[in-house]
Amino acid sequence: MAWNMEDYPNAFKNFDRVLQKKMIDIANALVDSGYEEGEAIPIAIEQGKEWYENASEAEQREVLYGPNPQKSDDHDTGSTDPSLLDEDVMVYYEDDQWKVKTVNADQASNVYTTKNEAVKRAREIAENKDTHVQIYKQNGDRQS
C-alpha cells in the first residue's frame, strides 16, 4: 500500500508536516522496492529523522512547499535491496575512515572519522533491521 498526506501510517502522525512528507516518500520508495510495510515504516522514521537533523532550511522548505507524496508516485527502486534487510551491519576501517556497511552491500552507507561514531550508527541500523553488528579493528581483524 502506498501512502499520501491524507492516508499514512499512524506512527507518522506526531511529526511535523515536513518530516511527515519526507517519511511518507521514503516509506513509499521502500515498499516499491519490495520491503514489507512493517519493515518500511520504522526505516522511514529513522531515515526521515536523520534527514531532518541534517537538512538545511532550504531543503526543508523545498519539501514543505513541494508537491505532496501521492500513492501513484514513481520511485527509484534501484538503490535499495530488500535482500540486505536480513544482513548484519559491519564497521571497518578503510581509506583513513571508519565505515558502516551492510554485509553484501555494494558500498558503505555511512563514513565517520571516529570508530565510536561508526559503531553507534551501525547499532542503530542493526537494531532497526533486527540484525547484528560486526566490528573490525583498524588492522582488519574482527573484534571479539
Q: Is residue 127 part of a domain?
A: yes
DSSP code, position 106: S
Other beta carbons within 10 Å of 24? 25
- Paired strand residues for 135: 91
pLDDT digits (tens, 9 = 90+) for 112-139: 999 999 999 899 888 877 889 999 999 9
Q: How far apart are CA 4 and CA 134, in angstroms?
A: 37
Give the range of the structural domain holding residue 29, as residue numbers without chain letter: 10-65
Entry pTM: 0.54
pLDDT digits (tens, 9 = 90+) for 75-106: 554 445 556 678 899 999 999 999 999 898 88
Split into its structural domains, the chain has a count of 2
| 59 and 92 inside one domain | no
Q: Is residue 53 part of a domain?
A: yes
Please answer whether residues 11 and 23 qualify as being in contact, where contact means their C-beta atoms are separated by less than 8 angstroms: no
Q: Is residue 4 part of a domain?
A: no
| 54 and 93 inside one domain | no
| 57 and 94 inside one domain | no
Q: Is residue 73 part of a domain?
A: no
